Amino acid sequence: MNRKRKFLVGSALIVAAVAALIWTAVRETSAYFMTVDEWAADPGAHSSDALRLAGRVSQGSVQWNPRTLDLAFVLQPIPKGEGGTHEARRDGDVLPASTAQARLPVEFNGIVPDMFADGRDVIVEGRVVDGVFRARSLLTTCPSKYEAERQKPAEAGGATGETKT
Amino acid sequence: MSDIGRLAIVLGFIVAIWGIVASVAGALRRDDDLVASGSHAAYAFSALVGIAVAALLYLLLTHDFNVEYVSAYSSSTLPVWYTIAALWGGMKGSLLWWTFILAVCNAIVQFQNRDKNRDAMPWVTAVLLMVGAFFLSLLVFITNPFERLSFTPAEGSDLNPLLQNYWMTIHPPSLYIGFVTTTVPFAFAIAALATGKLGDTWIRTTRRWAIFSWFFLTLGNLFGAAWAYVVLGWGGYWAWDPVENAAFMPWLTATAFLHSVTIQEKKDMLKVWNMVLVILTFALTIFGTFLTRSGVISSVHSFTQSGLGPFFMGFLLAMLALSLGLLVWRLPLLKSRNELESVFSREAAFLLNNLALVGIAFTVFWGTVFPVISEWVRGVKITVGPPFFNRVNAPLALALVFLMGVGPVIAWRRASWQSLQRSFLWPVLVGLSVGALALAQAGGNYYAVVAFSFAAFALTTVWTEFWRGMRVRQAMLGEKPWTALSRLIGKNRRRYGGYIVHVGTAMVFVGIVASSVFKVEVQKGLEPGGTVSIGRYTLRYDGVRTESDAHVDKTLAQIAVSRDGEPIATLEPEKRFYKKPKQPTTEVAIWSTLGADLYVVLGSYDPPTKSAVIQVFVNPLISWMWIGGVVMALGTAVCMWPSWSEQMSTVAAGVPSGTRTAS
């Protein structure tokens, strides 16, 4: 009986340790996942948070320097009903005029995914610094027919160790 | 042909429903005719699903683009091999494929047990048909794979280019076989609960299935990693994407089950726990399918919303409620007779191993569903990335590798100090010296140092086990070393096969640690003639050449590679353009050695200036992962081998196979 209790206490300790590990790891590695318009509704709210934003590449905004691997473009909201699975909004919401016009400049350094182009839907991960989104990674999504679509996550030059270890 | 396929799945669904009703009624009323009818229904179900798969395959191979599925996932120029792979390239096809594997398993189970497990079989039949009927109901009522279009496109829109890869032709079948075969132990567990015959008959009957299932889950995961590595082009093989996690979680609980089940056999302990693991493993395979099909959790595998999510969730909850309800009802019968006596015992090592495996499974689960939970609780979607999974799982994985060295040799019940010394002196010494060596070489990365040290420790215990067993045979029976070794393994295949699996696991582990911790990367824009250096390698970009056919256009960069100044290879990383879906892809070039992989990506190519962006990774010891995977597969094959021959002989003799040779 006593022995059994000892094992129960031991197991409980292990479970608690794992729980604590999960708790701290979530706190330190989590990022808010939202659409550009959701972010634009209150840009100040997440000024210091890691973000994962879904949006559309504004037509004609892409600037790419193949020598320095610097990429800059403007992210805009994905029009209602075209967002595919990455649309965080639920049905019935209508974009307020102010956030539908939201434009967020994005900067990224690294190799650009194959499917990246004007007008594509993308997910960027990073932070907003001085009104510019500094993307650590850039994913393209393709709201087309493929079900098992998997895109190559592009990684920013120096930040690899941080994201994929 | 599409009408035949459609008819087959409709009939298959009806037959399955009848089979469930007949089996359950037959079991409750002890009516042998009804039970036999249920079993016949299972065979008919298998035949009908087989016809449906054959029909879809025929439509694909004859390029009948009037069929929506065929035009969406293949084209006239798609190579035959990938046309066959298109069978599981889309959602409808993969659901049918899943049902087909289940149907085949069901037929095998019916045949294996035609003269035995009479009490359990009607329940087994009912559970297997229930799962089968669920999958078919999706195809019958919601998403018809044989749907025809109102017009006939001249050409199909082709299989996703990313799936046109040899790994992709074997990865999904392996994973599906692994997923689906977990249903068999689950069905026998449910039958044991339903009949109240909770001895270890159900475990012995399904042990082979459990190992078989684990074999394919392992292969499926490794093939998937290999595919990601060669196709996705970011230099890694695992990104903790929800879809990858979906495949990983059942593997973890299945691994835990294979270990804890030996404790039940030997010590009659952990009965409830084993039931829970079997149920959990099955539930996680359904959950995995739900994840990949529902779009609830956004994945880089961007899934179109199929509307199937609620059905999977409903089915999952129903199955969980049913099985856990049964389990609670039978709890009084599942009391174990023994309890743990000491922390220094094999029982305790196995228990800890189980805690670590389930801990990892829970971590993966939590990280995967976190966006959904945070949205429920706080109204905002919060995602956790790879750092979360790595941070939490790294210590747990280390503990597992350590236990892998302890578990096989520590004594049952209570290990004495002397026995501990005898068993672990050498492994500990070797582990410590490798650790010291790693510390001198790798310096400050303590995780890697501990990882290599533990791996060496685990490998040495396995080595001493083989060595001792072999020496004993040599001394007692005067056998030659090789004879002694092969007979040692042959006499006790489950045990030594398991050890071989451990060797493979340690190798995979070392490969994962080395390639993630010591990976280096460089990217650079180059003119023709320009060079880039990384580690011992220098790469010179010599322009591109092009290839073109009806299916795809290729641009191949010419990269001359030298190591320590010696030219070693010319690599050709590519950009491809697939013409049917008008989709560009990147093909990496890999120079693989035992020590490290040189992994080269053509990031972009600018035709007017002929300049290119080249990205290069050096991934140390990554080939150990693949070799370790082969070793794991071999070890598992050793475990399974005698059960096949044994089974054949017992089947031939018509003897109930309750006996076994493995200890």
The structural domains of chain A, with segments of one domain joined by +, span 1-30, 31-160
* pTM for the full predicted model: 0.88
The two tokens of residue A64 are 């790419």
**Stretch B245-249: mean pLDDT, rounded?**
92
Residue A150: the pLDDT is 35
For residue B269, pLDDT beyond 70: yes
Q: Which chain A residues are closer than 8 Å to B381 by Cβ?
A: 32-34, 88
Return the half-sphere exposure (C-beta side, CA atoms, 13 A cut-off) of residue B372: 13
Residue A88: the pLDDT is 40
Q: Is B60 left (phi over 0), alpha (psi -120 to 50) or beta?
A: alpha
Q: pLDDT class for A163, splitting at 50, 70, 90?
A: very low
Residue B656: the pLDDT is 42
Distance CA B508, CA B558 (A): 32
Per the CB < 8 Å rule, is B301 touching A149? Answer: yes
CATH architecture of A31-160: Beta Barrel (2.40)
Per-residue pLDDT reduced to its tens digit, B146-182: 998 888 888 887 787 877 888 878 888 899 999 999 9
Mean pLDDT of chain A, nearest integer: 74
Phi first, then psi: give them for residue A68, nearest 5 degrees: -95, -10
3 state SS of A6: helix
Bridge partners of B585? B576
Residue B663: the pLDDT is 36
3 state SS of B630: helix
Residue B281 domain flag: no
For residue B634, pLDDT beyond 90: yes
The two tokens of residue B12 are 């298959």
B452/A40: higher pLDDT: B452
Per the CB < 8 Å rule, is B300 touching A22? Answer: no
Residue B294: the pLDDT is 61
Residue B186: the pLDDT is 96
Residue A41: the pLDDT is 83
Which sign does the torsion angle of CA B617, B622, B623, B629 carry? negative
**Stretch B104-123: mean pLDDT, rounded?**
92
Residue B154: the pLDDT is 83
For residue B8, pLDDT beyond 90: yes
For residue B336, pLDDT beyond 80: no
Residue B563 domain flag: yes
Residue B295: the pLDDT is 59
Percent of chain B with pLDDT over 90: 50
Q: Is B173 left (phi over 0), alpha (psi -120 to 50) or beta?
A: alpha
Q: pLDDT class for B292, splitting at 50, 70, 90?
A: confident
Strand order across the B589-592 sheet: B520-526, B611-620, B596-606, B589-592
B236/B296: higher pLDDT: B236
**Stretch B102-111: mean pLDDT, rounded?**
95
Question: In angstroms, what separates the C-alpha of B498 from chain A's closest C-alpha?
Answer: 26
Residue B571: the pLDDT is 94
Q: Which of residues 114-143 of A touch B (CB under 8 A)?
A: 114-115, 125, 139, 141-143
Q: pLDDT class for A147, splitting at 50, 70, 90?
A: very low
Residue ending a domain, among B159, B186, B212, is: B159
Q: What letter represents residue B260's amino acid?
A: S
- Residue in B160, B236, B606 nearest the CB of A66: B606
Residue ending a domain, among B159, B175, B201, is: B159
Q: pLDDT class for B190, splitting at 50, 70, 90?
A: very high
Q: pLDDT class for B297, splitting at 50, 70, 90?
A: low
For residue B337, pLDDT beyond 80: no
For residue A162, pLDDT beyond 70: no
For residue B11, pLDDT beyond 90: yes
Q: pLDDT class for B567, splitting at 50, 70, 90?
A: very high
Phi first, then psi: give them for residue B525, nearest 5 degrees: -85, 130
Distance CA B650, CA B426 (A): 42
Q: pLDDT class for A96, splitting at 50, 70, 90?
A: low
Among candidates B25, B180, B34, B175, which has minimal Cα distance to B101? B180
Q: Which of residues 72-101 of A touch B (CB under 8 A)?
A: 84-86, 88
Residue of B nearest to A3 (CA): B341
- B517, burial (CB in 10 Å: exposed 0-12, middle 13-18, buried 19+): middle
Q: Which of residues 21-60 of A touch B (CB under 8 A)?
A: 21-22, 25-26, 28-34, 52
Q: What letter represents residue B483's amino acid?
A: T
Q: Indicate the number of domains in chain B.
A: 2
- The full length of chain B comes to 663
For residue A83, pLDDT beyond 60: no
Residue A91: the pLDDT is 40
Mean pLDDT of chain B, nearest integer: 87
Q: Which chain B residues are closer than 8 Å to A21 by Cβ?
A: 391-392, 395
Cα first-last separation, chain B = 52
| Cβ(B139)–Cβ(B10) below 8 Å | no
Residue B296: the pLDDT is 62
For residue A149, pLDDT beyond 50: no
| Pairing between β-strand A30-35 and β-strand A51-57 as defined by DSSP bridges | parallel
Percent of chain B with pLDDT over 70: 94
Q: Which chain B residues are closer than 8 Å to A53 by Cβ?
A: none
Per the CB < 8 Å rule, is B303 touching A149? Answer: yes
For residue B532, pLDDT beyond 80: yes
Residue B196 domain flag: no
For residue A156, pLDDT beyond 60: no
Per the CB < 8 Å rule, is A31 touching B382? Answer: yes
3 state SS of A112: coil
- A5, burial (CB in 10 Å: exposed 0-12, middle 13-18, buried 19+): exposed
**Tell me, what's the ipTM?**
0.76
Q: Which chain A residues are closer than 8 Å to B613 by Cβ?
A: 66, 69, 111
Residue B315: the pLDDT is 93
Which residues constitute the domain of residue B579? 520-623
Per-residue pLDDT reduced to its tens digit, B198-215: 888 888 888 889 999 999
Distance CA B514, CA B449 (A): 10
